[in-house]
Structure 1
Amino acid sequence: MFLSLHCNAALNFAYGMEAYVWEKASVNGNYSMNLASSLLKEVNHNLGFKNRGVKYSNFQVLRETTPFCTAVLLEIGFITHDEEAAYFLRNKNTKAMALAILMGLLKS
């Protein structure tokens, strides 16, 4: 399993979490989609982050990894959103995010 964690950025008032997978038709595509959905569901349920959904992307890290294992790129929030940026400045919140991600991994 490959999980890449990122913080997103936008010029508008975007907020929430989204996950990217390569393409469903790939060898591990269904597994990647299930993992991405599980991660978003857990973080939304436990921490209240908006679920922006699972999206397909041709990111190199996904394209090169998915043929070998389940692969998800997870955008855990927007650093350009004042409330989400402030959330990650507190140590207890990063631990809560890590725990929610772990629960999503275990439930996938």
Structure 2
Amino acid sequence: MDEGITMSVLERRFRRSYHPAWSAEFILDPLYLIKDVSGRYLPPFKYLTPEQEKDVDRLITRLVSPEMAHLAMMELMKWRSEGLDPLSAQAVQVRQPDPATGKMKIANK
């Protein structure tokens, strides 16, 4: 099967069902943090397209009052550069087997 056709179908379906909150959830959820070379756990901004980054900014500014929007954006930039400390990030990302199903589940929700 031609890969180009397959990718165009997937892109078209993704664009139709995409919601900006998905990008924000991906960035803000500590489960998706990535460990960098310095040992910090940073949000995965590098996996977003520029449009998705704008969606994250718009969504966060919509969720706060207009007076607090600049503070929320400053905190987002701080989150982007500093991330989460290693101890907290590892505590959030710990998984353990579920006794009922045997599947790996998040230990510290």
Normalising by structure 2, we get a TM-score of 0.27
More strand by share: 1
**Larger relative contact order, structure 1 or 2 (CA cutoff 8 Å, min sep 6):** 1
Relative to the length of structure 1, the TM-score reads 0.27
From the CA coordinates, give the structure whose radius of gyration is larger. Answer: 2
- Structure with more helix by fraction: 2
